[in-house]
Structure 1
Amino acid sequence: MLHIILFILKLIGFLILGILALLLLLTAVFLLAPFVYRAEFSADNSPESIRGSIRFHWLMHLISGHVSYEDGTFTWHIRAAWKKFGSEEDVRAESPPERREKSERPEHSEHSGQPTQEQPAAAVRPEAPSSTGREIRKIKTDKEINLTDEPPSHKEKPKSGQNQRKGSKKRRFSDRKTLKEKITAFYERLKKIPEKIKYTFRKICDKIKSLVKKKERLSAFLQNEVHKSAFSRLVREIRRLFHFLRPSEASVDLEFGFTDPAYTGYTLAGISMIYPLIGEYAQIRPDFEHKVLKGSIFVKGKIRMLYALIFAWNMLWDKNVRTTYRHIRRFKL
């Protein structure tokens, strides 16, 4: 009985060791397998001449793809194990409904051309108005004309004159009131102007004081020795990571220029930020007078997930980096 239990425990131990070895092998393949890429670009001073293509594969071609742009058309194709995705598959998937629509359109037009059989035989005519209604309308209009033609009575004339005088007096009185109100409102506004000036001046002073305090806090945070060492470590690790990510083969021969020379200068300033990395195999010529885009670019290289793991490991195991990260989370201006 004891031998059977020991044999079962041995089997369980071997199974656990096999699973662990398989997991270690998978992680090693995942970290060490290179992501291989190859990019090409060319242009000859016209939009039609622009051509470009990118090819990549990972995990021994288990995942691969191709992206290209040529003659104004953009095509892409990605394969993950036995699954395939791409622009050609999209076109094939979209083609059957388009054919159905085309087949249905002529049938619809044939049906629309035939006249409908069920139509009303005759339209209902509106009933003519009766003669009695016309007579009543005529009588009403005659009465209204007589009322309007009657001359105004002599008694109403003096009343209308008195009303006009009263109305003119009221208007004058209301005009005087509005003038007084306007003058008082303008005077009150003038009184409030110095108070507003004082308020704005105090507000500006408070903002300046708060900005000075924020500047002092930020300078104290940056001048801390722990934070300085953490930032210097970050710069070193980023440089090392870019060194790992450098392409194995590259050649850049480019001449560019915009209609506005300012945009050419902005583009050249952006390129100068990465020029230390590509300066060995790059020839860039800016043209500040003409709109030009000529040249070719070729880049080939490998990227491994191990590089990112090394970067994260070195940053996390640094005590100064950890303390700086905690201080950044708590920091408030």
Structure 2
Amino acid sequence: MMHIVLLILKITGIILLALLGLLLLLGLTLLLVPLRYHVSGEWMGEAKAQARVHWFLRLLSFRAVYDQKSGLLMKLRVFGIPVWSSDKEEPVKEAGDSIEHLMDDGGDSLTQNLEREEQRYRKSAKKVQEMDEAFEKKSSDGCKRGARKALKNLLFSFRRIYDKLKGGCQFIQEQREWLENEKNQASLRFLWKQAGRALAHLRPIKGQGTISFGFEDPYTTGRVLQGVSLIYPFCHRQLSIQPVFDEKILEGEGSFTGRVRLGFLLWLAVQIYFDRHTRKLIQSFIK
């Protein structure tokens, strides 16, 4: 009897360990196996774009295609089998038939409604005229009261503006002291560093894009190019900017490929969480 009980416990333990191992393997797979994406698009007078995302040897795959004529189409596959798609046909009614139907059924009622509205308008016009006459009689008596009230409102407005300016100066002083705090500066530098690492991980690994733009005025083209030059050093390897100074044009095309590991992003978030001062700083911003 005891032998049978021990055998059952042994089998139960083996099953539990196997389930625990499967859960651990699934968790590591979710964290370490990257999501791979491919994005491409172009603008040649009309917008066209396509995006594909797949995970774990295309166990899960998602595709989205956009075209100005057909709109946005999306499809989700599991093991290559479509499980969801946004391409669903919906019944469309012709506008001409609906208008004819309304005109046939509601023509008489529309005429009656117009006559009723005309009568209501005449009655309301008489009431407005009577109210204007009564107001003219009382305006002479209430002129002095209105002047006193306007003076009080003006003084109140000046006091309110003064209070706002005083409160704004105090707010600026508090924010200046907050920025000069060494711990706050260290937390902001740490957040900036983590954000940079996250963006570097998310940006495409391969790809090439081209943008051609121009305006009728060459001066405007030069000013836009001057603004673009501030961010161009960060993307010059994968993006080519071609200004056109003698033609109004806007064209572009590109294709980019990259990957995202959830485990790396989770590790960055864990580092921020275990930094005590940074965690409190984020909580204060959220509240």
* Per-residue deviation, 1:69: 4.2
Answer whether contact 1:261 1:289 (CA < 8 A) is retained: yes
CA distance in 2, matches of 1:32, 1:270: 39
Task: Measure, in 2, the Cα distance between the counterparts of 1:246 and 1:256.
Answer: 24
Q: CA deviation at 1:318?
A: 1.0
**Unpaired stretches in structure 2, ≥5 consecutive residues:** 98-136
Q: 1:118 maps to which residue?
A: none
Which residue number in structure 2 is paired with residue 157 of structure 1? none
Q: 1:261 to 1:216 in 2, by over 3 A?
A: farther
Runs of 5+ consecutive residues of structure 1 not aligned to the other structure = 106-177
Provide the residue aligned with 1:42 in structure 2.
42
Please say if residues 202 and 260 of structure 2, whose CA atoms lie closer than 8 Å, have aligned partners that are also in contact: yes
Answer yes or no: is 1:321 the counterpart of 2:278: yes
**Shift of residue 29, structure 1, vs aligned partner:** 1.3
Aligned partners of 1:64, 1:299: CA distance in 2, in Å? 17
Map 1:24-39 → 2, pairs under 5 A:
24-39=24-39
Residue identity opposite 1:221 in structure 2: W
- Give the aligned partner of residue 305 of structure 1: 262
CA distance in 1, matches of 2:154, 2:65: 64
- The 1:212/1:16 distance shift into structure 2, 3 A limit, reads same
d(CA) in 2 for partners of 1:188, 1:38: 72
CA deviation vs aligned residue, 1:25-63 (integer Å, no higher than 9, x gap): 11111122222222222344x33xx54332222232122
Distance change (3 Å), C-alpha of 1:38 and 1:190: closer
Secondary structure of the residue aligned to 1:253 is strand
What's the RMSD between the two structures over aligned residues?
A: 3.7
- Residue 188 of structure 2 is aligned with which of 231, 237, 249? 231
Aligned length: 244
CA distance 1:77–1:213, shift in 2 (3 Å)? closer
- Greater Cα offset, 276-285 or 193-202: 193-202
Amino acid in structure 2 at the alignment position of 1:18: A
- Tell me, in whole angstroms, the C-alpha distance in 2 between the residues paired with 1:316 and 1:257: 47
Q: Which AA in structure 1 matches 2:175?
A: L
* Structure-2-length-normalised TM-score: 0.69
What is the 5 A alignment of 1:110-259?
182=140, 185-187=142-144, 189-190=146-147, 194-257=151-214
**Corresponding residue for 1:123?**
none
- Using the TM superposition, give the Cα deviation of residue 240 of structure 1 relative to its aligned residue in structure 2, in angstroms: 0.8
CA distance in 1, matches of 2:196, 2:85: 36
Task: Report whether the alignment pairs 1:284 with 2:241.
Answer: yes
Q: TM-score, normalised by structure 1?
A: 0.61
Question: 1: CA distance between counterparts of 2:208 and 2:38?
Answer: 12
Matches within 5 A, 1:51-90: 51-69=48-66, 72-74=69-71, 76-81=73-78, 82-86=81-85, 88=87, 90=88
Q: For 1:228 and 1:243, how far apart are their aligned partners in 2?
A: 23
1:154-201 superposed Cα distances (whole Å, 9 cap, x missing partner): xxxxxxxxxxxxxxxxxxxxxxxx79x83x654555555554443222
**1:247 to 1:238, Cα distance in 2 relative to 1, 3 A:** same
The answer to which of 286-295 and 241-250 deviates more is 286-295
Please tell me whether the aligned partners of residues 255 and 287 of structure 1 are also in contact (alpha carbons under 8 angstroms): yes
Structure ID, larger Rg: 1
Q: Which residue of structure 1 lines up, in the alignment, with residue 114 of structure 2?
A: none
Go from structure 1 to structure 2 and tell me whether the alpha carbon gap of 1:234 and 1:273 turns closer, same or farther (over 3 Å shift).
Answer: farther
Please name the residue that 1:165 is paired with. Answer: none
Partner SS state of residue 21, structure 2: helix
Change (3 A) 1:42 1:219: same
Note closer, same or farther for the CA distance 1:189–1:54 as it changes in structure 2 (3 Å cut): closer
8 A contact 2:63–2:76 mirrored in 1: no
Displacement of 1:247 in angstroms is 1.2
Kindly report which structure 2 residues correspond to 1:255-270, keeping only aligned pairs within 5 A, or say none: 255-257=212-214
**Percentage of pairs with the same residue:** 28
